[in-house]
Structure formats: C-alpha cells, structure tokens
Amino acid sequence: MFFKRKPSSVPALGEALAGRDKEMPVASEHFVNGAALKGPYPEASETIYFGMGCFWGAERLFWQLPGVLVTAVGYQGGQTPNPDYDEVCSGQTGHTEIVKVVYDPAKISLETLLKTFWEEHDPTQGMRQGNDVGTQYRSAIYTTTDAQASVVAASKQAYEAALGQRGLGPITTEIRPAPDFYYAETYHQQYLAKNPRGYCGLAGTGVSCPVGVGVAAE
C-alpha cells in the first residue's frame, strides 16, 4: 500500500481507516526466549507499553533487561482496529509503534525500565524520531495501573528538568492509560534477533535520567 503524504497529526475520531475485525496472526512464542507471546503471563507480572520510534530497536533494548519476561511489538494509541503495518505507516490509523513489556517487579523496577526508555530515544521530537518522520514514531508511555502512572509522572518531571538544564525539552511523550494494543505481524516480532544487521534508528539525547524523584537505579 502506498500513501504519497503522511499527516502530521493523529486523525480525529471518524477520520481514521476502518481496519478490520480479525486479529493479526502472530507467532505463539517469543523468538529469543521462547516465552508465550500472548500469555498467559505469571500472576505477579506487570505490563507497560513504550513507544520510542521504530519498534525494532526499542524491543531489543527491553528483552535484554534481566527481569523482563516477554516483549512484543504492535500498534497502539489510534482508532483503527487491527491495523497492518502499511496502514499504520500511512499515518491514517492514529497508532504509534509500541513495545509491550511484561516484567517481574520483584526482579526489575519500573524505574529501571523508565530509565532505559528516557535515555535511549529523544522524547522531545513530537511526531518523529530522528530521520523517521510520522505519527507512528511519536514517543509514548501507556500504563496499566494507577501505581505505574504515578511513577511515570514523577520520572517525566525529573527527566524534563534534566533536559531543560541542557537546553532541551519540553517532553512531548504521550502518557495515558493503555488503549487497545494490536500485535504487529510476526515478521516484526523480535526483528533484530532474526536480522542482526537490521535497521535501528534509536538515538538518545545524551542526558542521563536522574536517580531519585521517582527514578531509582536498580
């Protein structure tokens, strides 16, 4: 599917592509660790969603962290049900590329996950990450509990202050309770494990995420 020009803003309700009722077929197991991609997950685990631009490199960051049980890539934050990759890239679904992170809070803290999130991309760029331009590359955090939301808010405040001291900011990351998550095609799942020389456009700001004020080192 080819779209000549991407919109620079998320389409309003009723303006997005129609999508479909059928879910995207996806592999049953994580390519790297063999865990069940769609669950069931351990009872004590928690889930949070991160958008950092292209989801290939972002997913690799998280599956490498001890205490992360499962990662998966998909589409979130828009109106189109069960979109495919071409539709998301058109900018006409409203979705951003997302990494689903299922973690054991007894083994890795949310603060540690957030430190990785903030430092490994530029959360000040709006509808882009570097040369990757479009609504599907916007920065996002989608939470699943009130406790997560509180920690995320504190970390944003702390990191925004640190960015400001370096002449950067404000943070444009979309932060809200998690909307529907749609798994991306199997081809995209754990892409850089299957294609070690594949594209990764991640680039942070070089500003360290402060320890304290809700952001603690592991």
Query: What DSSP character marks residue 186?
Result: G
Query: Would you call the peptide bond into 40 cis, given omega within 30 degrees of 0 as the criterion?
Result: yes
Instruction: Tell whether the model's pLDDT for residue 69 goes beyond 80.
Output: yes
Task: Say what the pTM is.
Answer: 0.93
Give the mean pLDDT of the chain.
Answer: 93
The pLDDT assigned to 211 comes to 53
- Assess whether pLDDT exceeds 90 at residue 216: no
pLDDT of 32 above 60: yes
* Residue ranges covered by each domain of the chain: 1-218
Going by pLDDT thresholds of 50, 70 and 90, the confidence category of residue 14 is confident
Q: What is the pLDDT of residue 210?
A: 84
Beta strands in the chain (DSSP E): 46-52, 68-76, 96-103, 128-129, 132-133, 139-143, 174-177, 181-183
Q: What are phi and psi of 169, to 5 degrees?
A: 105, 175
Q: Give the tens place of pLDDT for each residue, 109-121.
A: 999 999 999 999 9
pLDDT on residue 108: 97
**1-218: CATH, from 1.25.40.390, 3.40.50.720, 3.30.1060.10, 3.20.20.210:** 3.30.1060.10
Q: Which of 54, 89, 200, 209 is catalytic?
A: 54
Is 89 noted as a catalytic residue in this protein? no
